[in-house]
Structure 1
């Protein structure tokens, strides 16, 4: 609970920004960062070349040909170094690309396809690709700027600043390569992936408004006076622009109620907003208030983290992988997340205007739905794995100590269903007793 309070306190001061489709598109692609880096390094090279030309012209105006002759000798050595750097960069790029493909393939096959998004959106991976490609482009530009003359009086430019810039880019590339390997190795370890999922889930929960009486206030809205259909493309509802919808509802004196939950699949013509207390606001006012994509995101999606944790546990319990310890690690985080939400109001999030009036009602998963999402599928696949059964029983017992009395029923139901399934699958009394003994480490 202390981690939940810290997370909530650190994010309560800032409200989640609306999900930008362009920003999400760029974060889900690999082309933008390398292209931006290559364009930027070209601009920097133009400036460095102009500076090198200015240095040579200043020395020629002063008649300091001895210094120019030394710079020409330096240029010969620098040219060999830059040429070697250019060849090495292509090798590094191939290594980074190979490591990324192996990591993505491993994550998709052994964890769940949903966690591939973590690798695709990794900032260190994109930065490494971008800097490596920018360094390679810079070496080509610097090699093209070397002057072929040997006479100090005829030389027009010596790439002194450009060579120093290339060495700086090489140092940055090496640093990023070390960070990239470290980050990738961490993400290939399931414990770090599960911890990352839990962290993102806590961030989503902390950004949601805490409102008491959400269900009661939502019920007092009465029947809807109008409906707003979805007019965009079909896809997963990823985000609603809360601030815009609250402003529109306040300006027109109505209350808006979101019908689908974040993460639901919507199609054109499906009602997405119910209007209470007045007519439908103008369509232009509601434009871009709903964001739809091809997959779920953590943004505003309270159940997405539990969905991923359940998927990891199910994949670990499959006969192809048979890794109950990974399932136990996923259950650890499921219990942690449910414990953090054990006394938090759920079912509906109420968003109010500056006057305190409710203007937007957003449905969120209820306690029973979250418990079912975290335990149902894992419980059905855990039969035959005493380690997972013991960990699930210990987690349910811990949650029963934390939740208020009105939230105990779904936990007791899962506990009883697990006991009945173990009784049916384990004919020996000793095996049944062992599998039904709660243990926070599974088999500690």
Structure 2
């Protein structure tokens, strides 16, 4: 992201909203199944299970076609064609047998590659990027198709009749064998795509890009409004959490809005998405009546991107801190993280942050949700990296350029946290760098750090 530099005293340029800012301000209605869809994407069992169920259904349909084909040839008295069909199926049986014995080896290779990739990414970047591999569509698709192909080959081998007399044979797994060969070809293509995708995910630049993309998607799901949410009034009840302790991953907005509409109340979600909550933690303030007895909260062991606009900044900051540690000493990776952090904060420059309100079908506010404010997001993305950048001119120069770009973009009421970090960066460099020439060099605004 390249933003124009402007003197601190100049007026803020009137720039058009970014694509993600326009999407964030576009009204939308939350879906009831949205949290379930996100939770299934965070699992590794659903896709293989669904694939095996589908392949059983496909095998059953293919067996019906095979039986109908044999019955049609027998009723027509075309035993020569039936004999040829039996010969083709017998030839395919050799391939299916080989596929059945070799497919488990392929599955083991895919699983081993995935474990090694996850281990390397967790050690080199941050443990929080493991979910990228878990949510990888190509990894799930490859693993699912391999398992489905293995299961299909077993079903097809069990379907062979063993009878060679065309007058006595009841079924010939011709269509089933062709389906197995088609699955084998698909598996080979997916294996190539899987290896290519895994190698890309082992490169830190692609991991950073994926995190930034997920952050923008999370931002686009938030119903930001140009106006502040209305004050809901007196708190009539506070609902406390009753369940196992963990991180608040998301809430089912559609269910909460429907429950609040039925009771004629307004709910305010007290903790933020990503907060750790335990039994007895206040979770909802009810305005105007009695709140619902059941609440749709999802609590887990770690944060997710769903409804959490700060999680991407948390991951990018973690990767940059790991890169700036003495054991790694990779300032270029930290600069790449800063590129994405500045771009993400720049896309929020004119987006109204803070609380967002969710309305029912009549347009009445039923749920108010607290989000991180501008200062919170700036501190999350910059504070820790700034604390480690004083002795590294490449990072300090890039950070100085990013702060200057953001200062030229944000309105006057949002300049304070940026100016604070700019002043603290200058103080840290002046304190830790003894030579005046080195201090001057480290504080030059440079979007590539040192290039």
| TM-score between the two structures when normalised by the length of structure 2 | 0.89
**Structure 1 match to 2:188:** 174
Q: Decide whether the 8 Å contact of 1:228 with 1:280 is kept in 2.
A: no
Are residues 129 and 395 of structure 1, via their aligned partners in 2, closer, same or farther at CA, if it must alter by over 3 Å?
Answer: same
Number of matched pairs: 437
Q: 2-side partners of 1:312 and 1:297: how far apart?
A: 17
Which of residues 130, 140, 159 in structure 2 aligns to 1:145? 159
Which of residues 269, 273, 290 in structure 2 aligns to 1:280? 290
Matched, 1:72 2:86: yes
**Alpha carbon RMSD of aligned pairs, Å?**
2.4
Structure 2 residue runs without a partner (length 5+): 2-14
**Structure 2 match to 1:136:** 150
Equivalence map 1:3-152=2 (5 Å): 5-10=18-23, 12=26, 14-18=28-32, 22-152=36-166
**Structure 2 match to 1:267:** 278
Matched, 1:238 2:258: no
What SS is found at the alignment partner of 1:239?
Answer: strand
Q: Decide whether the 8 Å contact of 2:27 with 2:223 is kept in 1.
A: no
Per the TM alignment, residue 141 of structure 1 is displaced from its structure 2 partner at its CA by: 2.0
Q: Which has the higher contact order (CA 8 A, sep 6+)?
A: 2
**Structure 1 match to 2:238:** 227
Q: Decide whether the 8 Å contact of 1:209 with 1:349 is kept in 2.
A: yes
Q: Decide whether the 8 Å contact of 1:227 with 1:280 is kept in 2.
A: no
Matched, 1:348 2:392: no
Q: 2-side partners of 1:412 and 1:367: how far apart?
A: 13
Per the TM alignment, residue 9 of structure 1 is displaced from its structure 2 partner at its CA by: 4.2
Of residues 174-183 and 17-26 in structure 1, the stretch that sits farther from structure 2 once superposed is 17-26
Per the TM alignment, residue 342 of structure 1 is displaced from its structure 2 partner at its CA by: 1.5
Q: Decide whether the 8 Å contact of 2:349 with 2:409 is kept in 1.
A: yes
Q: Decide whether the 8 Å contact of 2:269 with 2:368 is kept in 1.
A: yes
Are residues 144 and 372 of structure 1, via their aligned partners in 2, closer, same or farther at CA, if it must alter by over 3 Å?
Answer: same
Q: 1-side partners of 2:395 and 2:367: how far apart?
A: 41
Structure 1 residue runs without a partner (length 5+): none
Q: 1-side partners of 2:134 and 2:248: how far apart?
A: 21
Per the TM alignment, residue 19 of structure 1 is displaced from its structure 2 partner at its CA by: 6.3
**Structure 1 match to 2:372:** 365
Q: 1-side partners of 2:413 and 2:366: how far apart?
A: 28
Are residues 18 and 368 of structure 1, via their aligned partners in 2, closer, same or farther at CA, if it must alter by over 3 Å?
Answer: farther
Q: Decide whether the 8 Å contact of 1:238 with 1:293 is kept in 2.
A: yes
Deviations 1:242-273 (A, max 9, x none): 34434444454443222111111111111111
Per the TM alignment, residue 7 of structure 1 is displaced from its structure 2 partner at its CA by: 2.9
Are residues 242 and 142 of structure 1, via their aligned partners in 2, closer, same or farther at CA, if it must alter by over 3 Å?
Answer: closer
Are residues 18 and 439 of structure 1, via their aligned partners in 2, closer, same or farther at CA, if it must alter by over 3 Å?
Answer: farther
Q: 1-side partners of 2:358 and 2:95: how far apart?
A: 61
Higher helix share: 1
Q: 2-side partners of 1:67 and 1:344: how far apart?
A: 70
Q: Decide whether the 8 Å contact of 1:261 with 1:364 is kept in 2.
A: yes
What SS is found at the alignment partner of 2:448?
Answer: coil
| TM-score between the two structures when normalised by the length of structure 1 | 0.91
Are residues 53 and 241 of structure 1, via their aligned partners in 2, closer, same or farther at CA, if it must alter by over 3 Å?
Answer: closer
**Structure 1 match to 2:331:** 324
